[in-house]
Structure 1
Amino acid sequence: MPAQIRIYVSGLYCGGNPQPGVGIVRSLRAAFPSSKIVGVEYSNRVSGIHWEGLDDVWLQRPWDELDLDIYAERVRELVGGGALWISGSDLEAMWLASIFPEGHPNLLAPPMQALKRITKPEVLGAKELPVKIPTFISTDHSDWDLHAFCRQHNWRVWLKGPYYDAARTPSWDVFEAARNALSKVWATQRLFLQAHVSGYEESVMLSAYKGELLGAVSMRKRDITPEGKTWAGDVTEVPDEFLVPLRRMVKALNWTGGGELEMVRDAAGELWLLEMNPRFPAWVHGATLAGHNLPALLVQAATGAIPKPSIAHGEEFTRVVLEVPVRKDFPLPPLPEPFAGAVGHSMKHPSGLPALAERLQESNPHMLEVIGDGDGTEQVAKIPETMMQDLGSYDFAQVQTPEFLFMESTAASLFKRASERAHRLSTNEVQVITGYSIKTNPDARLIKLALDNGFLAECISLAEAQKALEVGFRPDQVILNGPGKWWPEGLMPTEQMHAVFCDSVADLDRCVAALASGEMKSKHVGIRIRTPNIRSRFGIPLDSPATFAKLVEAVKRLPTDTAFGVHFHMASANVGVAQWWHLFESILKWCRAIEKLTERDIEMLDMGGGWFPDDVHDGDEDKFAKAVETARAVLPNVRQIASEPGKAMAQPSMALAMRVLEIQEHEDDYVEAVVDGSIAELPMYFFYPHRMLRQCGETGEWQPLKRGKTHLMGRLCMEHDIVAANVQLPEGTRAGDLLIFCDAGGYDRSMSYVFGRG
Structure 2
Amino acid sequence: MSAFLNQKQTQALTIAVTGLNANDNPGPGLAVIRALRAGFNADLKIIGLAYETLEPAVYLRDEVDKTYRIPYPAAGIEALKTRIKHIQEIEKIDVLIPNFDAELYNFIKIEKDLLEMGIHTFLPSHKQLIQRDKANLKAFGDENNFKVPADDVIFKASEINSSAEKLGFPLVVKGKFYDAYTVQNLSDAYNAFYKLQAKWGLPIIMQKFIKGIEINIAGLADGKGNALSVIPMRKLYITEKGKAWAGITIENENLIDLAKNFANATQWKGSFELEIMCEDNGDLYIMEVNPRFPAWVYLTAAAGQNQPKALVDLALGNPVNEFQGYKVGKMFIRYASDNIVDVEDFQKLSVFGEL
Same fold (TM > 0.5): yes
Question: Contact 2:274–2:289 (CA<8 Å) still a contact in 1?
Answer: yes
- The whole-number CA distance in structure 2 between the counterparts of 1:59 and 1:12 is 11
Q: Give the structure 1 partner of residue 102 of structure 2.
A: 91
Structure 2 counterparts to residues 418-429 of structure 1, below 5 A? none
- The whole-number CA distance in structure 2 between the counterparts of 1:163 and 1:217 is 23
- The whole-number CA distance in structure 2 between the counterparts of 1:325 and 1:93 is 32
Q: 1:291 to 1:187 in 2, by over 3 A?
A: same
Question: Contact 1:125–1:253 (CA<8 Å) still a contact in 2?
Answer: no
Q: 1:324 to 1:196 in 2, by over 3 A?
A: same
Q: Give the structure 1 partner of residue 234 of structure 2.
A: 220
- The whole-number CA distance in structure 2 between the counterparts of 1:67 and 1:151 is 39
Is the aligned partner of 1:170 residue 2:187? Answer: no
Match 2:34 to one of 17, 26, 29: 26
- Output one character per residue of 1:297-356: Cα deviation in whole Å (capped at 9) or x when no partner: 1112223399xxx996952221222333437762389xxxxxxxxxxxxxxxxxxxxxxx
- The whole-number CA distance in structure 1 between the counterparts of 2:191 and 2:214 is 27
Q: Say which SS state the counterpart of residue 17 (structure 1) adopts.
A: coil
How far did 1:244 drift? 4.6
Match 2:345 to one of 330, 337, 346: 330
Letter in 2 for 1:48: A
Match 1:193 to one of 174, 182, 206: 206
Is the aligned partner of 1:60 residue 2:60? Answer: no
Q: Give the structure 2 partner of residue 4 of structure 1.
A: 12
Match 1:120 to one of 112, 130, 134: 134
- Output one character per residue of 1:708-754: Cα deviation in whole Å (capped at 9) or x when no partner: xxxxxxxxxxxxxxxxxxxxxxxxxxxxxxxxxxxxxxxxxxxxxxx
Match 1:290 to one of 273, 278, 303: 303
- Output one character per residue of 1:575-631: Cα deviation in whole Å (capped at 9) or x when no partner: xxxxxxxxxxxxxxxxxxxxxxxxxxxxxxxxxxxxxxxxxxxxxxxxxxxxxxxxx
Question: Contact 1:4–1:36 (CA<8 Å) still a contact in 2?
Answer: yes
Letter in 2 for 1:134: P
Greater RCO structure (CA 8 Å; 6+ sep): 2
Question: Contact 2:32–2:298 (CA<8 Å) still a contact in 1?
Answer: yes
How far did 1:53 drift? 3.7
Q: Give the structure 2 partner of residue 321 of structure 1.
A: 336
Give the TM-score taking structure 1 as reference length: 0.39
- The whole-number CA distance in structure 2 between the counterparts of 1:159 and 1:148 is 14
Could you tell me the percent identity over the aligned residues? 25
Structure 2 counterparts to residues 55-454 of structure 1, below 5 A? 55-60=64-69, 63=72, 68-75=77-84, 78=88, 83-100=94-111, 106-123=120-137, 124-125=139-140, 131-140=146-155, 143=158, 146-188=160-202, 190-211=203-224, 212-237=226-251, 239=253, 241-244=254-257, 246-303=259-316, 304=318, 315-326=330-341, 330-331=345-346
- The whole-number CA distance in structure 1 between the counterparts of 2:73 and 2:218 is 31
How far did 1:296 drift? 1.4
Give the TM-score taking structure 2 as reference length: 0.80
- The whole-number CA distance in structure 2 between the counterparts of 1:125 and 1:102 is 30
- The whole-number CA distance in structure 2 between the counterparts of 1:126 and 1:257 is 20
Provide the alpha-carbon RMSD of the alignment.
3.4
Letter in 1 for 2:310: L
How far did 1:140 drift? 4.7
Structure 2 counterparts to residues 641-720 of structure 1, below 5 A? none
- Output one character per residue of 1:400-447: Cα deviation in whole Å (capped at 9) or x when no partner: xxxxxxxxxxxxxxxxxxxxxxxxxxxxxxxxxxxxxxxxxxxxxxxx
Q: Give the structure 2 partner of residue 726 of structure 1.
A: none
How far did 1:127 drift? 5.5
Segments of structure 2 that go 5 or more residues without pairing to the other structure are: 349-355
Letter in 2 for 1:96: F
Larger radius of gyration: 1
Q: 1:305 to 1:331 in 2, by over 3 A?
A: farther
Letter in 2 for 1:262: E
Question: Contact 1:97–1:103 (CA<8 Å) still a contact in 2?
Answer: no
- The whole-number CA distance in structure 2 between the counterparts of 1:260 and 1:208 is 11
Q: Say which SS state the counterpart of residue 28 (structure 1) adopts.
A: helix
Question: Contact 1:136–1:195 (CA<8 Å) still a contact in 2?
Answer: yes
Aligned residue pairs, count: 327
Segments of structure 1 that go 5 or more residues without pairing to the other structure are: 334-758
- The whole-number CA distance in structure 2 between the counterparts of 1:35 and 1:174 is 48
How far did 1:93 drift? 1.2
Is the aligned partner of 1:38 residue 2:50? Answer: no
How far did 1:85 drift? 1.0
How far did 1:160 drift? 1.4
